[in-house]
Chains A and B, each alone.
Chain A
């Protein structure tokens, strides 16, 4: 599995805030996703109902997961495919390697897949002399740069156009050094022509799966570029990697989920290519793979069933939560230190790699609730982050200063009179200190807080005083 850098979250975040290139990229990209999602959702009046249905479909499936997985596997085999059940990442890596070796594979093309990142497929293949080639444009440049994705649907979210041009010039040595990139389209065209030969030469194609369909034994991928389709169509072997919670019962269930996915993810009504793969090429077919393998991965998911984190298994990896997250928007994906960033990562990562290494993630939240409000399957992400904080506290993983500060806060919180007095005094002091300014750019004892943002000056009275005043005013009317 990918190394976990989450214990360094604070250092990563500080570095991210100071990284001007990253801040520029985040600034460029942030608005686009929000606007597109909002307009796609506004254009479909049924969207809210579809979210409820999506949540119910996933809940129904999870409650009967054993049945639907066995049905799925039986139907894959009926269509000439093979299902490999893998409990651990190691088992999945070995399975993929064994399939590649069985056909003497030298190169393997890959569609974008987060489970492949989670399992560490590329390193494993490379270590054993097989060359994996990422074909999604974003994944491709990250492979060239030896980086990991910073976003689950837009892997190169952290890069600017200048980075693309510089890397292509540095690494595509087969092309003239002094060529000019007039537009972004020139960069896309160069990747297209460079990768075309790789598609044609690959022995094995590895994709992920957005959904698995129990009824038909199909794996579904959703892409805009067409790279995933070339990957699963041209080589003689197609391997689909999927975690167990990807299954839905029927095509009709998948249709409902698909109406949610593209709108929530990129703000498109539908992605350009949504493709259902079922088994091997048929006898009379002129193209398609001769072998079809589904590597079905648990890697910690079954441990989430029956816990307060079960609902996280509804996630369809659309990235709406991170697109709308103020923390993700400020620090980007790499700061989170593992495969899945943003709110969904802050809940999922502790489940998969342990809270001992990842306790900072569920704390990296303002609890603004935006993530839950845009989640297409209504996962209560803030609630789950709170559960993780509780578990972290129970297990004494929280730092000592934080624990003593919390104890101090609790002392006041349990004594309302004292609490109100203290807050009134604090607010008054801040007000005086501000001397008419609207916000503090720096503040003694709170330098860490004001380094990244300004603290608005309190406007004179506590919430309780203002509330009591408004209640009295109402009483008079």
Chain B
């Protein structure tokens, strides 16, 4: 069978037999400790500057951002953003307890259903897991409370992210996932899907010229909840 053929082909090419047990143990050790490589200095910053870098990078990649002081302000921010974009106040909401707990009834104009996105949904409100400051990238691991279709089908995606969720690099994001996610199927931490999202969908396939809004959302808006006192802007930043 081809598995054996390929493995034997590899060993023949490398001029050796199967790896000896000690070498295998060494490699298994490397997998278990999964050492980090060089971390770019640009994101190794005090918390307030790290959050500022994240937001700056989101905007550099054509996303938009708004900071709100607490979770209670999110429904208002969603309603105002949709109104400002001249969009209907209708959306699909990630079935997430933190999002559910927000005072949506204070904005009775807002109309939403909670679940996965369907082709008819034009706006989604997604639950952000982690934000990576290095490049303004969101990490959105799939979960029953965070369906992947919310990141893909609607024209506009609004992501609600906590400032305490902002980290320096992608490795820090994976560390959070390693620590916080338990996957029942594998016993590991990876869900079916982990999406890193940096700005709205785009294509440069026509004459290498950038156009926003290819197959994914045309707009990506991040509402950042300032839940981390240590990450608030300092006076010298303002």
Contacts and interface: CB of A to CB of B under 8 A. Distances in A.
Interface of A: 25, 28-29, 32-33, 44-46, 49-50, 53, 57, 63-71, 73, 75, 78-80, 85-87, 91, 135-138, 141, 154-157, 159-161, 164, 184-185, 187-189, 191-192, 195-196, 199-200, 214-218, 224-227, 229-230, 232-234, 244, 249-253, 255-256, 258-259, 266, 268-289, 296, 298, 302-307, 310
Contacts of A85: 1-3, 5-6
A198 B130 CA distance: 32
A272 B207 contact: no
A286 B152 contact: no
A428 to B, nearest CB: 46
Nearest to B214: A225
B169 interface: yes
Given A29-B208, A46-B38, A244 B186 contact: no
B151 interface: yes
B107 interface: no
B198 A225 contact: no
A161 B207 contact: yes
B219 to A, nearest CB: 13
B215 A195 contact: yes
B193 A184 contact: no
A157 B24 CA distance: 44
A33 to B, nearest CB: 7
Contacts of A250: 30-31, 34-35
Interface of B is mostly: loop
Contacts of B206: 137, 156, 159, 161, 164, 184, 187-188
Contact of B216 (A200, A225, A284): A225
B164 interface: no
B101 interface: no
Contacts of B30: 249-250
Contacts of A227: 214-215
B41 A46 contact: yes
A277 B57 CA distance: 25
A66 B11 contact: yes
B192 A302 contact: no
Contacts of B193: 232-233, 275-278, 288
A275 B192 contact: no
A78 B185 CA distance: 8
Contact of A87 (B2, B27, B42, B152): B2
A64 B152 CA distance: 37
B147 to A, nearest CB: 5
Given A250-B30, A302-B12, 9 more contacts: A225-B214, A226-B217, A233-B193, A252-B35, A255-B170, A273-B216, A274-B137, A279-B192, A282-B192
Contact of B170 (A28, A258, A266): A258
B221 to A, nearest CB: 15
Interface in B1-58: 1-3, 5-7, 9-15, 18-19, 23-24, 27, 30-31, 34-38, 40-42, 57
B203 A278 contact: no
A283 to B, nearest CB: 7
B116 interface: yes
* 6 cross-chain pairs, A with B, having the tightest CB-CB distances, nearest first: A226-B216, A305-B13, A302-B9, A225-B214, A138-B205, A286-B116
B190 A216 contact: yes
B196 interface: yes
B112 to A, nearest CB: 15
A29 B207 contact: yes
A282 B184 contact: yes
B149 A233 contact: yes
A29 to B, nearest CB: 4
A69 to B, nearest CB: 7
B207 A25 contact: yes
B179 to A, nearest CB: 14
B238 interface: no
A171 B177 CA distance: 46
Contacts of B194: 218, 275-276, 278
B100 to A, nearest CB: 15
B69 interface: no
Nearest to A165: B206
B209 interface: yes
Contact of B192 (A68, A136, A285): A285
B6 A302 contact: yes
Contacts of A270: 135, 137, 196, 198
A32 B151 CA distance: 29
A137 B171 CA distance: 31
A199 B216 CA distance: 12
28 contacts: A46-B41, A50-B38, A66-B7, A66-B11, A78-B185, A79-B190, A85-B2, A154-B204, A154-B205, A156-B206, A226-B217, A229-B148, A229-B195, A229-B216, A244-B10, A252-B171, A255-B170, A269-B198, A272-B198, A272-B200, A275-B196, A278-B186, A282-B191, A283-B184, A296-B6, A302-B6, A306-B15, A307-B13
